[in-house]
Amino acid sequence: MSDLIADGLSVTYDGPDGPHRAVQPLDLRLPPGAFLAVTGPSGAGKSSLLWALGAALTPTTGAVTLGDDALTGRDRAAALGVALIPQGNGLAGSLSAEENILVPLLTRKVSPADALRRTTAALELVGLAESGRHLVDELSGGQQQRVALARAFAQRPALILADESTSDLDAGNRERMISALRGEAHRGAIVVLATHDPEAAAEADGELALDEGVATWARPLADVLRAAI
C-alpha cells in the first residue's frame, strides 16, 4: 500500500462568466490507513477535489500519485485500486444489487467463485444480505448508497473516495457504514469521505475543510498517521 500525494492540485471550470476555480492549489499527503473527512458547504469544491484525486477529471494544475504511479486517467486509476463512489452512487439501476458488485469484479479478472464470495461478504457487511437480488431501482436511496459502498469494498481498493456516501442513511446505518470505512482503513486502504455531516466527519482521523475551494485543516490528521508521513 502506498501514500496518496496531491501536489499543487487545483480544479478550474470554464463557466458562463469565465473561469471558475473550484479547488485552489492544494498539497496533500495521506498514508495507508488514513481516514480523512472532507467537509464544507455546498459548492465548496468537495466533489471536484474527490474527482480530481480519483482521476475522474483532469486537474487544471498539479498531479496526483499513488506511490510511484501517476493517476492520469480514470481507467488507470481504477486499475491501480482507486474506487470512486460518486454522489448519486453510479450504480446501474436496471441490474440487481448483486450484479452491480459482481460485474466489475469479473471485468477485473477476479475468478467467478471469488467474485461471488466477495459480493456476498460485501452485501453482508453493509447489512443487505437479503437484498442482493433486488434491482437497484427498487431500492431506497439509502440502500443504494450501501450497495455503492459494498461495490467499492468488494474491490479491496487501495484508495476509497466516497462522495456523500452516508447522506441518505439513518443513524444506525450511518454508524455501520462509517465502521465499514474504518475497517477498510484498518486493512490499509486510504479512505476519503466528503460529507456535510459533522458526526460522520468526527469519526475520521482528520478533517480537511473546503471553503470556496480553499482547503484548511479543521482537524489535522491524527499524530499517529502524521508520524507515518
Ligand X SMILES: Nc1ncnc2c1ncn2[C@@H]1O[C@H](COP(=O)(O)OP(=O)(O)OP(=O)(O)O)[C@@H](O)[C@H]1O
Minimum Å distance from CB 12 to ligand X?
Answer: 9
- 108 lies in the site for ligand X, by CB under 6 A: no
Query: Where does this chain touch ligand X (CB under 6 A) — which range of 41-49, 73-81, 154-162, 178-186?
Result: 41-49
- 13 lies in the site for ligand X, by CB under 6 A: yes
Q: Which residues on adjacent β-strands are paired with residue 5?
A: 29, 65
Site for ligand X in 72-91 (CB under 6 A): 87
Contacts of 134 (CB under 8 A, 6+ apart): 96, 97
Nearer to ligand X, 20 or 108 (CB): 20
- 46 lies in the site for ligand X, by CB under 6 A: yes
**How many residues sit close enough to ligand X to count as binding (CB under 6 A)?**
13
- Candidates 45, 86, 132, 206: give the one binding ligand X (CB under 6 A): 45
User: 10 Å Cβ neighbour count for 182?
Assistant: 15
Minimum Å distance from CB 204 to ligand X?
Answer: 16
Q: Which residues on adjacent β-strands are paired with residue 10?
A: 61
CA 190 and chain centroid, separation: 9
Rounded distance between C-alpha atoms, residue 187 and residue 60, angstroms: 32
Kindly give the pairing relationship between strand 159-163 and strand 82-85: parallel
Nearer to ligand X, 11 or 97 (CB): 11
Collapse the DSSP code of 121 into the 3-class scheme (helix H, G, I; strand E, B; otherwise coil) and give the result: helix
- Candidates 22, 34, 82, 225: give the one binding ligand X (CB under 6 A): 22
Contacts of 208 (CB under 8 A, 6+ apart): 28, 36, 37, 38, 39, 215, 216, 217, 218
- 206 lies in the site for ligand X, by CB under 6 A: no
Query: Where does this chain touch ligand X (CB under 6 A) — which range of 2-10, 36-44, 76-84, 167-175?
Result: 36-44
Contact positions vs ligand X (CB under 6 A): 13, 15, 20, 22, 40, 42-48, 87
